[in-house]
Amino acid sequence: MAANLLVEIISPTGMIFKGNCQIAVIPSVDGEIGVMKDHQSFIVKLKKGEIKIFKDTQTQSHVFNIENGFAEIENHGKLLVLID
């Protein structure tokens, strides 16, 4: 299966990451959320933890440690993460 979720991670200093992946796991205040293309749209508050980017369902390609922020999941295949 092709990597088809666009992920953008942005901090106050600029773009941290922009790329496509199969799945991204984000640390929401209610627990970890796995996001894939066509996930239901929503906005969630993030807590301290790791954003994990997976090239495919088995291969983790990037990890970003965060303190907090917000994530917007758009149903057309985009995950926008704003971090402090």
Strands (E), 12-66: 14-21, 23-28, 31-35, 42-46, 49-54, 60-66
Amino acid at 49: G
Provide the CA 64 distance to its chain's centre, in angstroms. Answer: 10
Cα angle value 43/44/46 (rounded, 5°) = 145
Q: What does the pLDDT read at residue 39?
A: 87
Q: What does the pLDDT read at residue 2?
A: 56
Q: What does the pLDDT read at residue 36?
A: 92
Q: What is the pLDDT along the chain (84 residues), one digit of tens a residue?
A: 455 899 999 999 999 999 999 999 999 999 999 999 988 899 999 999 999 999 887 788 899 999 999 999 987 899 999 998
Q: What does the pLDDT read at residue 3?
A: 57
Q: What does the pLDDT read at residue 59?
A: 82
- Structural domains for the chain: 5-77 (2.60.15.10)
Burial class (CB in 10 A: 0-12, 13-18, 19+), 77: middle
